[in-house]
């Protein structure tokens, strides 16, 4: 048994040991001071300081008085775990990942830009990224192409996809299949079957791009397994997750119970319409993840940035902490590669997004030129990745 006196002595000598190598070194590398820390992974929403040392979260406490090499003033701002965007097209260019980082995105998944033919070059982009980048491989060898990559089903080559995954086991975290009729015609179920066949030996999830498919969601959803992801969950009819009266199909609830995830993916065309969004949210069927589906053309209008997409869900009535959860801890749980992300837990990699929540009148658009005016909008303010400040976001 340790007496109180012994315990104190032990703690004191431990503290001396930690500081001994350089008596003049600051205790922490960085302190993010005075922000409203919202971390759904810890159930935390309070004014806190976040201390960082050695690239990891060292403490999350009120009024940390120890010294730090660098201090970030976060008063009046939100301090949240680095954002995790599970549906982007950032791997299409070398500049993409850095652009995501300015949004506060410290981990991302490129969702099917590349198939087997171009996976090597996009994997190289992910490996060279300043943030944590992973890829879903498109079941079509060409990746996404104009006119629909699965209009010719010979492109859905299971052997080629498996070979590409085997070459990049560290980077490819799932398979993407776009099931809209303008991508795959009437062959959506066969495309899904091949995606699952490619995924099976590696035990990887399949992400389906839903909306305006030939087959109804009632036929598609029962084929999905635990860990699979439905992206563009708010796509309007034909073949939405709601019927023509706006009621959720029972298969949707059954899929969620089975462990299938539902993701937003704002994008540009056919993926989100206000009336469908309102029907779904009103029934209490909230997304597991919010994602942008951004590409370089959607950064001036529609998507803009991750914070803008998140703000649309504040406007739709989701509470702030749930919106943050959809962009952090929930997203991190979907992929093993992100297991230690989406959290400010002590010991986790020091990936932090500082956001501003401004009041005012902000215009939000869906994919059908529908406009809504919201009263609040989130803006990226600063990003810390691995304990280091990232370049400032655009003004």
* Residue 263 found at the interface with Zn ion (CB under 5 A): no
CA dihedral 261, 255, 274, 99 (to 10 degrees): 10
Interface residues for Zn ion in 30-49 (CB under 5 A)? none
Indicate the residue among 40 and 112 with the shorter CB distance to Zn ion. 112
Start-to-end CA span in the chain (Å)? 59
Give the CA count within 13 Å in the CB-facing half-sphere of 210.
Answer: 31
Indicate the residue among 177 and 385 with the shorter CB distance to Zn ion. 177
Rounded CA Rg of the chain: 22
| Cα distance between residue 299 and residue 376, in whole Å | 19
Among 54-62, 291-299, 312-320, 344-352, the segment contacting Zn ion (CB under 5 A): 291-299
Among 11-19, 61-69, 118-126, 290-298, the segment contacting Zn ion (CB under 5 A): 290-298
Interface residues for Zn ion in 90-129 (CB under 5 A)? 111
CB 232 within 8 A of CB 272: yes
Strand partners, 88: 110
Smallest gap from Cβ 337 to Zn ion, in A, equals 19
* Residue 293 found at the interface with Zn ion (CB under 5 A): yes
* Residue 305 found at the interface with Zn ion (CB under 5 A): no
Smallest gap from Cβ 230 to Zn ion, in A, equals 13
| Cα distance between residue 39 and residue 51, in whole Å | 15
Structure tokens at 70: 């660098």
Indicate the residue among 111 and 217 with the shorter CB distance to Zn ion. 111
Smallest gap from Cβ 160 to Zn ion, in A, equals 21
What DSSP string runs through 329-345? HHHHHH-GGGTT-S---
Alpha carbon distances (Å) from 185 to 152, 181, 209, 393: 9, 4, 14, 41
Smallest gap from Cβ 252 to Zn ion, in A, equals 21
* Residue 157 found at the interface with Zn ion (CB under 5 A): no
Smallest gap from Cβ 267 to Zn ion, in A, equals 6
* # binding residues, Zn ion (CB under 5 A): 2
| Cα distance between residue 114 and residue 139, in whole Å | 9
* Nearest residue to Zn ion, scored by beta-carbon proximity: 293
* Residue 149 found at the interface with Zn ion (CB under 5 A): no
Smallest gap from Cβ 117 to Zn ion, in A, equals 18
Sites of contact with Zn ion (CB under 5 A): 111, 293
């Amino acid at each position: 048994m340790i007496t109180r006196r012994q315990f104190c002595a032990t703690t004191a000598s431990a503290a001396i040991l930690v500081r001994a190598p350089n008596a003049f070194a600051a205790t922490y590398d960085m302190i993010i001071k005075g922000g409203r820390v919202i971390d759904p992974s810890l159930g935390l929403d309070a004014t806190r300081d976040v201390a960082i040392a050695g690239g990891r979260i060292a403490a999350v406490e009120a009024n940390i008085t120890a010294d730090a090499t660098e201090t970030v003033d976060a008063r009046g701002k939100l301090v949240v775990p680095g954002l995790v965007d599970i549906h982007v097209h950032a791997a299409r260019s070398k500049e993409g990942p850095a652009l995501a980082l300015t949004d506060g995105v410290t981990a991302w998944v490129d969702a099917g830009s590349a198939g087997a033919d171009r996976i090597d070059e996009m994997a190289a982009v992910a490996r060279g990224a300043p943030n944590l980048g992973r890829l879903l491989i498109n079941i079509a060898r060409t990746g996404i192409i104009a006119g629909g990559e699965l209009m010719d089903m010979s492109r859905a080559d299971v052997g080629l996809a498996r070979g590409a995954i085997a070459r990049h086991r560290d980077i490819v975290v799932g398979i993407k299949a776009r099931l809209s009729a303008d991508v795959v015609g009437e062959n959506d179920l066969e495309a899904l079957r091949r995606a699952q066949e490619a995924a099976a030996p590696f035990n990887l999830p399949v992400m389906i791009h839903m909306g305006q498919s030939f087959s109804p969601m009632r036929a598609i959803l029962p084929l999905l397994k635990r860990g699979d992801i439905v992206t563009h969950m708010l796509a309007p009819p034909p073949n939405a997750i709601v019927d023509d009266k706006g009621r959720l199909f029972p298969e949707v609830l059954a899929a969620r119970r089975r462990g299938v995830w539902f993701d937003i993916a704002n994008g540009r065309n056919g993926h989100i319409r206000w009336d469908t969004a309102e029907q779904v949210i009103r029934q209490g069927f909230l997304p597991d993840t919010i994602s942008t589906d951004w590409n370089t053309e959607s950064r001036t209008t529609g998507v803009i940035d991750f914070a803008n997409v998140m703000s649309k869900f504040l406007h739709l009535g989701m509470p702030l902490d749930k919106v943050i959860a959809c962009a952090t801890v929930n997203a991190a749980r979907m992929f093993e590669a992100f297991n230690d992300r989406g959290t400010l837990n002590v010991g986790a990699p020091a990936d932090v997004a500082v956001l501003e929540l401004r009041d005012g009148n902000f215009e939000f658009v869906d994919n059908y030129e529908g406009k809504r005016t919201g009263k609040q909008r989130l803006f990226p303010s600063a990003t810390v990745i691995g304990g280091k400040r990232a370049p400032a976001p655009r003004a």
